[in-house]
Amino acid sequence: MNPAPRWRYDEERHSGVDFSAPEEAAAYDAYMQKMRDIGGEVATIKAALGLSPADVLLDLGCGTGETALGLAPHCAAVHAVDVSREMVRLAAAKANTRGLANVRFAQAGFLTCDYPAATFDAVLSQIALHHLPDHWKHVALRRIHALLKPGGRFLLQDAVLPSGERDLDAYFAGLVAAVAAAGGEKVARDTETTLRDEHLTLDWIMEGLLARAGFAILSVTSAPPFITTYLCVKQESA
């Protein structure tokens, strides 16, 4: 196999929170179980993606796998991919414990996961794409477009910044305070790291990136503190 070109973004360098560290992965999993309504998320995502029992789903940046595992009983197969070996290890252990045999795991990133074109009926990515700078997001979104079958659906959920906000410093301070009140100090510190060191994108840029990658955006929904969900469908003319 040829070595990766030296200009390729190193996805394993982990901008911001280091999810390759076992203690970070374990802390994230505990936070997920406590703070998120996974059953509700699974129901919403299943309906939005229109998943049916014959479908093959890709979850990119699957983390510790709760959503992928929740969706597995509704699909023929789920491919759960994350750049952190430790996150994948925790997710695979849970799949094993829960007796879910139709989930395949891979340690890989948006830029390196390796599947033939038009493999998937649907692609999901939650709170992970912001680890890439914008021009690499463009590359990642073009790859996702290629991996989808004609008419395939893509649900992208990520931290996106509101361009209408006049005072981003005040916005960030309010956001960190809200996260601290809801989730405690550790999550607040992680949110500061995310705002400082990760690659959050403004709303209008994200919409442009999706459109130029060949997606039609069917709906956009925002949830506090700064998560936006784009439901998209693959267009053929990209």
Ligand X SMILES: C[S@@+](CC[C@H](N)C(=O)[O-])C[C@H]1O[C@@H](n2cnc3c(N)ncnc32)[C@H](O)[C@@H]1O
Residues forming contacts to ligand X in the complex (CB under 6 A) are 11, 19, 32, 60-63, 67, 82-84, 87, 109-110, 126-128, 131-132
CB of 48 to ligand X, least distance (A): 15
Which CB atom, from 227 or from 235, has the smaller least distance to ligand X?
Answer: 227
Specify the 3-state DSSP secondary structure of 190: helix
Residue 158: phi and psi, rounded to 5, are: -160, 170
- Of 19 and 226, the one with the shorter C-beta distance to ligand X is 19
Report how far residue 163's alpha carbon sits from residue 159's, in angstroms, rounded to the nearest whole number: 13
* 55 versus 82: smaller Cβ distance to ligand X: 82
Spatial contact of 28 and 63, defined as CB atoms under 8 Å apart: yes
Parallel, antiparallel or unpaired: strands 227-234 and 215-223: antiparallel
CB closer to ligand X, 192 vs 235: 192
Least separation in angstroms between CB 45 and ligand X: 10
* H or E segment to which residue 103 belongs: strand 103-107
Residues 6+ apart with CB under 8 A from 135: none
Q: Which helix (H) or strand (E) holds 82?
A: strand 77-82
Which lies closer to ligand X via its Cβ, residue 58 or residue 87? 87
CB of 125 closer than 8 Å to CB of 158: yes
| Closest chain position to ligand X (CB) | 63
Helix (H, G, I), strand (E, B) or coil at 113: coil
Least Å distance, CB 71 to ligand X, is 12
Give 10 or 151: the residue with its C-beta nearer to ligand X: 10
Structure tokens at 168: 């981003």
Bridge partner list, 220:
230
> In the bound complex, what is the minimum distance in angstroms from residue 59's beta carbon to ligand X?
7
User: How is residue 231 written in tokens?
Assistant: 């439901």
Nearest distance from C-beta of residue 166 to ligand X, angstroms: 28
Within 8 A by CB and 6+ apart from 23, the residues are none
Beta carbon of residue 8, minimum distance to ligand X (angstroms, whole number): 11
C-beta closer to ligand X: residue 38 or 173: 38
Closest contact distance (angstroms) between CB of 67 and ligand X is: 6
